Structure 1
Amino acid sequence: MISSETVSEYLARLASREPTPGGGAAAALHAAQGAALVAMVARYTTGAKYEQHAETVQRIISAADALVVEALHLADADQQAFQGVIDSYKLPSGTEALKAARKAALQDALILAAQTPAQLVEVAGAVVDRATELFEVANANVISDIAAAADAARAAATTARVNIDINVVAIKDVAARSRLADQTDGIEEKVILAADDLVARVRGRILG
């Protein structure tokens, strides 16, 4: 599992000539790193100097920590889901019945493979939301990490979108395609705009 690997082990597998892990897992780790950066900045925004914001900061810490866990879970889930697609392609198809079973299994696997990055787009949005909220009160000494968190979340969302699209193209179930579209409708664009705005605001504060 990705969540229990060392960084070196994960990168070695990512670089190998194996189908998993791939871009979906990488996107999830982008989101996890973004959430971890938010949690780190929040933890530096504690103590007497920030007492008036203590409740908000603590809530952001809890939310960011939970997003790290969720993103790592999605990294593992994406790897498993894509392996399911690969396994479905390998199913026997020597008879009409076997062809039908293979086709049904493949469609189910593709829907699952698209569902994981769809959830990740939502996680990326939550990371940017918490980063934006934290920016207003964050310790100025680590404010650049707010921008880093936003950039990581943007990368997670845009990479997840590519993974959604490539799976949806092969999904024949119109209702399933519609559900996936509804689930992510507009979220990726909002993440990009919010991340760009937040990075600009951080730069503005740093550069005066």
Structure 2
Amino acid sequence: MISSETIEGYLARLAARQPTPGGGAAGALHAAQGAALIAMVARYTTGAKYADHAEDVERIIAGADAVIPVAVRTANADEEAFAAVIKAYGLPADSEDNRALRTRAIQDALAQATEPPRDLINLAGQIIDLGHELAEFGNANVISDVAAASEAARAAIATAMITLEINIKAIKDAELQDALRADVLRAEQIIASADDLSSRVRKRVLA
């Protein structure tokens, strides 16, 4: 489980010639890091100087802190879901009945495998929203880390989006395909928001 291993151990597994963990898990960890960066900047935005924003800062800290463990669990879930897809593809196809069972198992596993990236888009979107708030008044000494958080969340969304696009091609359920296409469109919109956030922070840094 990613949540219980060292960074070195996780990276060694990620680099190994094995199917899991893969890009989806890496994307979820991008989101966790983005949330952690938002929480850090918010914690530096406290004290008398920021008294007018105290309630907003506490809410941002709570929101960012809540995303971190969920993102890590999403990394675990993505690894498990992809392993289930691989297992389904490995089922026997030596008879008509077995082929039918294999096809059903693959479709079920693929459908389940869409859940982590869909969750990841939501989580990363939350990070971007919190970042937009914090960019208005965050401590100037660490405000660049809001842009770093934005880029980490952007990477998470882009990773989730390509995963969904791959699954759309393989999934036969037309209703689910439509839902996934809607998620891809939403991901594109959040990526645009992430780009805007990074640009806003850069302008503030250079002002």
Query: Which residue of the partner structure matches residue 99 of structure 1?
Result: 99
Moved more, 102-111 or 196-205: 196-205
Query: Which residue of the partner structure matches residue 193 of structure 2?
Result: 194
Residues 164, 184 of structure 2: 8 Å contact kept: no
Gaps of 5+ in 1: none
Q: Give, in whole Å, the separation in 2 of the partners of 1:190 and 1:142.
A: 26
Residues 150, 199 of structure 1: 8 Å contact kept: yes
Taking structure 2 as the reference length, the TM-score comes to: 0.96
Residues 111, 168 of structure 1: 8 Å contact kept: no
Q: Which runs of 4+ in 1 moved over 6 A?
A: none
Residues 161, 184 of structure 2: 8 Å contact kept: no
Query: Which residue of the partner structure matches residue 28 of structure 1?
Result: 28
CA apart distance, 1:158: 0.7
Q: Give, in whole Å, the separation in 1 of the partners of 2:172 and 2:192.
A: 32
- SS of match in other structure, 2:170: coil
CA apart distance, 1:85: 0.3
Q: Give, in whole Å, the separation in 1 of the partners of 2:14 and 2:192.
A: 29
Per-residue deviation, residues 139-188 of structure 1 (Å, max 9, x unmatched): 11100000000011111111111111111211011112122233x15321
Per-residue deviation, residues 18-65 of structure 1 (Å, max 9, x unmatched): 000000011111111111100100111112221221111111111101
Residues 14, 20 of structure 2: 8 Å contact kept: yes
CA apart distance, 1:98: 1.2
Query: Which residue of the partner structure matches residue 60 of structure 2?
Result: 60
CA apart distance, 1:199: 1.2
Taking structure 1 as the reference length, the TM-score comes to: 0.96
Query: Which residue of the partner structure matches residue 71 of structure 1?
Result: 71
Paired amino acid for 1:39 = A
Count how many residue pairs are aligned between Structure 1 and Structure 2: 207
Residues 146, 201 of structure 2: 8 Å contact kept: yes
Q: Give, in whole Å, the separation in 2 of the partners of 1:130 and 1:83.
A: 33
Identity of aligned residues (%): 56
Q: Give, in whole Å, the separation in 2 of the partners of 1:121 and 1:88.
A: 26
Paired amino acid for 2:99 = K
Moved more, 190-199 or 123-132: 190-199
Query: Which residue of the partner structure matches residue 2 of structure 2?
Result: 2
Q: Give, in whole Å, the separation in 1 of the partners of 2:3 and 2:131.
A: 23
1:125-164 maps to which residues of 2 (within 5 A)?
125-164=125-164
Q: Give, in whole Å, the separation in 1 of the partners of 2:114 and 2:92.
A: 24
Residues 110, 171 of structure 1: 8 Å contact kept: yes
- SS of match in other structure, 2:83: helix
